[in-house]
Amino acid sequence: MKSSIRKICLHDLQHTFESLLIQGGASLAYVRDQLGHASIQITVDVYGHLVAGADIPWVDQLDAKPRRQRNATPAQPRGIVDAQLSA
């Protein structure tokens, strides 16, 4: 009788573990450390497509309706600014 269990190698388990880490929100730097990659570029090349939002084109964000930007401090009446400058 043939078993219906699929053979899984150690590399498959490692790939699943790292994929779940990234999908769970782990940073690529943390994943790099877990894998022991010498460079984060290796991690990005293999797992970068799993990072949430990485596939959103930046140009699409330019089409979004801009929100009105507020100044950190409110504008001062003109008379106060002139008085400060002449002092």
Whole-number pLDDT of residue 41: 92
Q: pTM of the full predicted structure?
A: 0.51
Residue 61 · residue 44 · CB < 8 Å: no
Measured between alpha carbons, how far is 6 from 8 in angstroms, rounded to an integer?
6
Q: Kindly state the tokens that stand for 68.
A: 């009105």
Q: Identify which of 44, 55, 41 has the alpha carbon closest to the alpha carbon of residue 18.
A: 44
Task: Give the up-direction half-sphere exposure of residue 55: CA atoms within 13 A in the CB hemisphere.
Answer: 6
pLDDT digits (tens, 9 = 90+) for 27-82: 889 989 998 989 999 888 888 888 876 666 666 666 666 666 666 666 666 665 55
pLDDT digits (tens, 9 = 90+) for 28-40: 899 899 989 899 9
Whole-number pLDDT of residue 30: 92
Residue 43 · residue 31 · CB < 8 Å: yes
